[in-house]
Amino acid sequence: MDMHHPISSPDGQNAAQDTPRKERLVVVGNGMAGMRTVEELLAKAPGRYDITVFGAEPLPNYNRIMLSPVLAGEKTFDQIVLNSRAWYEENAITLLTGEPVESIDRAAKTVTSASGRVVAYDRLLLATGSMPFIIPVPGSTLPGVIGFRDLADVDAMLAAAAKGGRAVVIGGGLLGLEAANGLRVKGMDVTVVHLMPTLMERQLDPAAGQLLQQELERRGIAVLTGADTAEIVGGEQAEAVRLKDGRLLPADIVVMAVGIRPNMALGKAAGLECGRGVKVDDAMRTSDPAIFAVGECVEHRGLTYGLVAPLFEMAKVLADALADGEGSAYTGSVTSTKLKVTGVDVFSAGDFSGGADTEEIVFRDPARGVYKRLVLKDNRLLGAVLYGDTKDGGWYFSLLKDGADVSAERDTMIFGQGFGGADAGNPKAAVAALPDSAEICGCNGVCKGTIVKAITDKGLTSLDEVRAHTKASASCGSCTGTVEALLAVTAGDAFTAAPAVKPMCKCTHHSHDAVRAAIVAQNLRTMGEVFAALDWTTADGCASCRPALNYYLLCAWPGEYADDYQSRFINERAHANIQKDGTYSVVPRMWGGLTSATELRAIADVVDKFAIPTVKVTGGQRIDLFGVKKEDLPAVWADLNAAGMVSGHAYAKGLRTVKTCVGSEWCRFGTQDSTGLGVKLEQMTWGTWTPHKVKLAVSGCPRNCAEATIKDLGVVCVDSGYELHVGGNGGLHVRACDLLVKVATEEEVLEYTGAFMQLYREEARYLERTAPWVERVGLDHIKRALVDDAEGRAALHARFLFSQRFSQDDPWAERAAKGVDRHEFSLLAKVG
Amino acid sequence: MDQILSALPKTGVAETGVAATSAAADTLWTPVGRVEDIPVRGSRVIRTPDGDVALFRTADDAVFALRDRCPHKNGPLSQGIVHGQRVTCPLHNWVIELSTGEAVAPDVGNAGHIPVRVEDGAVSVALELATAARGGCKGACHV
């Protein structure tokens, strides 16, 4: 047996005769407080204990406060994992996940898990966290009523959001609003029901609460304040929320986010002294000296905490106690709050209720949506509320915690730190001016001095290294900018602001994925809004980011976003392909590769009339006319239109061709009508805009004459139905398709194709073809979205068809007959 | 300049491409149209005996003129994407400064720059003052 494996090891009499048996530390709870304690302990006293960790969730340790960004689609679960399973192994910690502990035997010093496992301890740490408080109204136990606490809750919300419909969030506090925003971003109709007259009343004063309400309403979230829930109505499932005033709010899901309750059941059952939580002293020890507790499950000096900073402060003290250090004591925390709703900046700290003996400094700029209120008493800062501009939150918070006398800066402090100085607005200078004791990272309680020392002593040059060594900026991330400024000041030229992800282009440090997520999350509707919200470094982008942004906006807001013509590559402006001599090539659409005598005659006539030098049959079963002068394009199109032909979009990042073989209509091997199916696919998909070009094909039998298995999506007909293959292409890096699924009917082929197109449209990066996209995200991801999830597939297909309503106008006819973009095809002037 | 304006068919030049008259008193400056005839962050072409000239209009309504030939492989710069005070050639993505015609590093060359005057929205160019195009690989490399 593994030497450091404590499970069911005998009491140690024979375990090691030469060295004394290590003490056994059992941690109940694999959350942020428990694991932070273990991390601190490993740093202070490595190897001191044999450590076993029980986690109720079947997951490694993750950053729970980042669940809101996961819900909003701004982060993935992998990005919020704090310690992977490998970390536990490296540190010789036994991790038992999906295994809640059910009882403690204090006399025998053992714990028993739900699976019946019994583990002995010398010291036990309870870090059981908290549970969402579910208001005990009728119906509160119906399926469809969920809290917002763990990944399972997020998954439940995402599953509900995938179906669309309505969500009612009960509770207009921090968590409730983050949940509401996430569900809204995911496309649900969201109503927030809040008992108090203004939102987040524990963190915000009424003025800021109202500003926040207006912002949420602007994002399409309905807010009902002063609304008291009477019951949740439903049969087998929650269907509506009834308020005490009689209003009935239909709901497909109900999220209860009215607060949390310390999870002290285990400690209470074991006879530990409990109040609102498990009671602990200043060393985090419970009424049993062998048992400690940390985090949201504890009551300390009559207070319970639900924010991350106090938990981490407790963890430090507790690690000292476990390492048998002396002198450190937890004396309670002053807390500050930030709302993690992207684009909504809210900060508060301290006591801002005001009162007879306090004074207030208030700043309002309604046009910019900025509100700041500082509450002072005897020239010391008592509380601060910031809305819209929170960059000085950290400064106010440190003044507040230090109880500093602010008479000197009182006149200008509302305008922020360093106001009026030569370096006002320069973040590097502001950070350089901070004292070493200034707290930079509120979550982890890391001061400037600690970070500077780590950078200098260890030669750190990147944000990730600073995070690894000091924890600064490793939790909610809102101090990242300050930490980077500190790095730049301290490490100087050595600091490489090398982002972990590749930026879209030189105009921004954001990646394609981050920009896409922000467009949806922050409801950015125009390119100008993207530039402003995401701090573009150029006034109007560049030839690389503009076409990408234009596509992302078009995809996010079908029918609403006005296409930015000047952000398209010339081929998509001229609706033809530019050639090396500045002439263009013209490819009319031939549905499924079919043509006719009329069409061929019209093409021949156009070639003669406009003296078109080269006519070529393409690889996609169409005819390409080369060497057309730009000024002639509208007239060429007019003649082709007259014969019933439309644009083939051979120039577009969009659907190009649907290549077919003749199939069962003529071929003696054909199993299905591949040509007819190809025509139907082309009729459904033509005109769409996609991240890169898309080519489809349908082969009538497995001999695969249409080369369907090197297409973005290829259908291979067989006797019993249709095989769908995806993610192939010819070209520089040939990739054969992966088999996605086999279906029985043409209707299913059409639905899968629409859904696949839409998934590609929504997820792939601009100029990323399906082949590299499939390799990047993995076939399993695509199967999960399309094959395993019938409702998700139908929803994708429906979104595809919806977007097609705005893209299936023949651009040639618009230009040939209606004079659209006439300037594109005419000279401004002739001189001389 | 008002006389020149009145001598110009206001939109006719743009719409029909007829030759602009040289009836203006000022012979150095040839009127070619109005600022609003050029799309914002876009371009229009003037045909001259010495080849095409591309007129560009930036987001802040500044107007520039370059020879419509990229110093790299003669790509029509008028067909490129305009960003800031630069245009990206549609053929191989060389970036050219609108104010000088210089290729942006690491590429080397100059498209040839033509002075532009805008008065009361009327655009004229001084073709005689065009700077010479320079450099590029002229097809020697196979980019």
Q: Whole-angstrom Cα distance, residue A509 to residue A512?
A: 10
Residue range A23-130+262-322 forms a domain whose CATH class is alpha beta
- In this prediction, residue A461 has a pLDDT band, given cuts at 50, 70 and 90, of confident
Contact B7, B122 (CB under 8 A): no
Chain CA centroid to CA B27, Å: 19
- B81 exposed, middle or buried (CB, 10 Å; 0-12, 13-18, 19+)? buried
Q: Does A8 have pLDDT greater than 50?
A: no
Q: Do A566 and B15 touch (CB under 8 A)?
A: no
User: How far, in Å, CA of A685 to CA of A110, rounded?
Assistant: 64
Task: Return the amino acid letter for B75.
Answer: G
- Chain A residue numbers with beta carbons less than 8 Å from the beta carbon of B39 are 565-566, 823
HSE toward the beta carbon, residue B119, CA cutoff 13 A: 12
pLDDT digits 0-9 by tens, A556-569? 999 899 999 999 99
Is A274 part of any known ligand binding site?
Answer: no
Q: Rounded to whole angstroms, how far apart are CA atoms B16 and B35?
A: 17
Q: Closest-CA residue in chain A for B19?
A: A830
Structure tokens, A181: 């925003």
A391 vs A738: which has the higher pLDDT: A738
A208-217, A285-294, A370-379, A476-485: which is most confident: A285-294
Q: Where are the domains of chain B?
A: 34-131
pLDDT at A732 over 80: no
The residue extents of the domains of chain A are: 23-130+262-322, 145-258, 512-568, 569-646, 648-809
Bridge partner residues of A829 (DSSP): B46
| B10 near A CB under 8 A | no
Question: Is the pLDDT assigned to residue A430 strictly greater than 50?
Answer: yes
- Mutation site for B-interface testing, chosen from A567, A568, A632, A830 by largest number of B Cβ within 10 Å: A830
d(CA A829, CA A499): 48
Enumerate the H helices of A141-264 as residue ranges: 151-162, 174-185, 206-218
Distance from CA of residue B124 to its chain's centroid?
11
**Residue-level pLDDT, tens digit, chain B, 143 residues:** 333 333 333 333 333 333 444 444 457 889 999 999 999 999 999 999 989 999 999 998 999 999 999 998 899 999 999 999 999 999 988 999 999 999 988 788 999 999 898 989 999 998 888 888 887 554 444 33
Give residues with Cβ within 8 angstroms of A235, minimum separation 6: none
Residues 6+ apart with CB under 8 A from A493: none
Question: Residue B143's pLDDT is what?
Answer: 36
Cβ contact, residue pair B84, A578, below 8 Å: no
Separation in Å, CA B38 to CA A400, A567, B79: 57, 15, 13
| Distances A495 to A7, A425, A451, A470 between C-alpha atoms, Å | 46, 21, 14, 16
Q: What are phi and psi of A565, to 5 degrees?
A: -50, -45
Report the distance separating Cα A648 and Cα A812, nearest Å. 10
Topology alike, domains A23-130+262-322 and A145-258: yes
**B7 close contact with A: CB closer than 8 A:** no
DSSP A101-117: EEEEETTTTEEEETT--
CA distance A442 to A394: 8
Q: A614-637, pLDDT tens digit by residue?
A: 999 999 999 999 999 999 999 999
| Phi and psi, residue A349, nearest 5° | -155, 150
CA-angle at A233, arms to A228 and A235, nearest 5°: 165
Smallest Cβ distance to A543: which of B40, B55, B83? B83
The verdict on A567 touching B (C-beta cutoff 8 Å) is yes
CA separation (Å) from B44 to A145, A634, A825, A832?
Answer: 61, 17, 9, 17
Could you give the C-alpha distances from A637 to A135, A619, A652, A726, A821, in angstroms and in order?
A: 67, 22, 16, 33, 14
Alpha carbons A509 and A497: distance in angstroms, whole number: 10
Q: Are A412 and A392 in contact (CB under 8 A)?
A: no
Q: Which region holds residue A280: left if phi is over 0, alpha if psi is between -120 and 50, else beta?
A: beta
How many angstroms from the chain centroid is the CA of residue A82?
17
Whether A15 shows a pLDDT value over 50: the answer reads no
pLDDT digits (tens, 9 = 90+) for B118-135: 989 999 998 888 888 887
Considering only residues A163 and A419, tell me which one the structure prediction assigns the higher pLDDT. A163
Q: Residue A491 pLDDT > 70, yes or no? A: yes
Alpha carbon A797 to chain centroid distance? 23
A569 touches B: beta carbon within 8 Å: yes
Nearest CA in chain B to A564: B41
> pLDDT class for A457, splitting at 50, 70, 90?
confident
Q: In this complex, is the C-beta atom of A546 within 8 Å of any C-beta atom belonging to chain B?
A: yes
Tell me the whole-structure pTM to 2 decimals: 0.52
**Closest Cα to residue A151, out of A90, A217, A64?**
A64
Q: Could you say which DSSP state residue A294 is in?
A: -
Longest dimension (CA), chain A: 107
Mean pLDDT across chain A, nearest whole number? 88
A7: pLDDT strictly greater than 60: no
The answer to whether the beta carbons of residues A384 and A400 sit under 8 Å apart is yes
Residues forming a β-bridge with B124:
B31, B117
DSSP string, chain B: -HHHHHHS-TTHHHHH-PBPP---S-SSSEEEEEGGGSPTTEEEEEEETTEEEEEEE-TT--EEEEESS-TTT---GGGSEEETTEEE-TTT--EEETTT-BBPTTS-EE--EE-EEEETTEEEE-GGGPPPPEE--TTSS--
User: Is B44 exposed, middle or buried (CB count within 10 Å of its CB: 0-12, 13-18, 19+)?
Assistant: buried
Residues 801-830 of A with CB under 8 A from B: 822-823, 826-830
Cβ of residue A688 closer than 8 Å to a chain B Cβ? no
Q: Inter-chain contact B41–A826, Cβ cutoff 8 Å? A: no
Contact of B13 with chain A, judged by CB distance below 8 Å, is answered with: yes
**Residue of B8, B79, B85 for testing the chain A interface, max A β-carbons within 10 Å:** B79
Q: Tell me the three state secondary structure of residue A646.
A: coil
Q: Is the pLDDT of residue A69 over 50?
A: yes
Cα distance from A635 to chain B (closest Cα, Å)? 15
- Average pLDDT (A698-707) is 95
**B chain contacts of residue A827, beta-carbon cutoff 8 Å:** 17, 44-47
Confidence at A503, pLDDT banded by 50, 70, 90 = confident
Rounded to the nearest angstrom, the minimum Cα separation between A637 and chain B is 19
Q: Which residues contact A660 (CB under 8 A, 6 or more apart)?
A: A592, A593, A621, A674, A675, A677, A678, A679, A697, A698, A699, A700, A706
State the pLDDT confidence band at A427, using cuts at 50, 70 and 90. Answer: low
At B26 the pLDDT is 54
Q: What is the structure's pLDDT at B20?
A: 45
Q: Which residues pair with B56 in a beta bridge?
A: B43, B64
Nearest beta carbon to residue A828 from set B14, B59, B79 = B14
The amino acid occupying position A416 is G
Alpha helices in A142-189 (DSSP H): 151-162, 174-185
Buried residues in A808-828 as b, exposed as e (16+ CB within 10 A): eebbbbebbeeebbeebbbbb
Fold of A648-809: Sulfite Reductase Hemoprotein; domain 1 (3.30.413)
Window 30-89 of B: residues touching A by CB (8 A cutoff) are: 30, 32-33, 37-42, 44-49, 55, 59-60, 73-76, 79-84, 86, 88
Q: Is A505 annotated as a binding residue?
A: no
Q: What is the mean pLDDT of residues A150-163?
A: 90
B40 and A566 in contact by Cβ < 8 A? yes
What CATH number is given for A569-646 in this structure?
A: 3.90.480.10
Which two tokens mark B69? Answer: 């030939």
Residue A211, C-beta contacts closer than 8 angstroms, at least 6 positions apart = A369, A371, A387, A388
User: Is A441 known to sit in a ligand binding site?
Assistant: no
Mean pLDDT of A196-217: 87
Say if residue A369 is exposed, middle or buried (CB neighbours under 10 Å; 0-12, 13-18, 19+): middle
Cross-chain Cβ contact B93/A543 below 8 Å? yes
Domain B34-131, CATH among 3.50.50.60, 3.40.30.10, 2.102.10.10, 3.40.50.2020? 2.102.10.10
Q: Which of A471, A425, A429, A424 is nearest to A447 (CA)?
A: A471
Predicted local distance difference test score (pLDDT) of residue A358: 85
Q: At residue A135, does pLDDT exceed 70?
A: yes
With 60 as the cut, is the pLDDT of residue A5 above it? no
Count A/B contacts: CB-CB distance under 8 Å: 111
- Residue A823: which of B14, B75, B88 has the nearest Cβ? B14
Greater pLDDT, A568 or A392:
A568
Question: Is the model's pLDDT at A608 over the cut of 90?
Answer: yes
pLDDT tens figures, A79-125: 888 888 889 999 999 999 999 999 999 999 999 999 999 999 999 99
Q: Give me the CATH topology for the region A145-258.
A: FAD/NAD(P)-binding domain (3.50.50)
Cβ of B9 under 8 Å from any chain A Cβ?
no
Q: Is A138 left (phi over 0), alpha (psi -120 to 50) or beta?
A: beta
Which of B46, B59, B81 faces A828 most closely, judged by CB atoms? B46
- Using CB atoms, which residue from A540, A543, A829 is nearest to B46? A829
Pairing of strands A577-578, A446-447: unpaired
Query: Rounded CA gap, A396 and A409, in Å?
Result: 12
Which of A538, A567, A828 is the mutation pick for testing B, counting most B CBs within 10 A?
A828
> Does A668 reach chain B within 8 Å, measured CB to CB?
no
Of A539, A547, A573, the CB nearest to B59: A539
A443 is in an annotated binding site: no
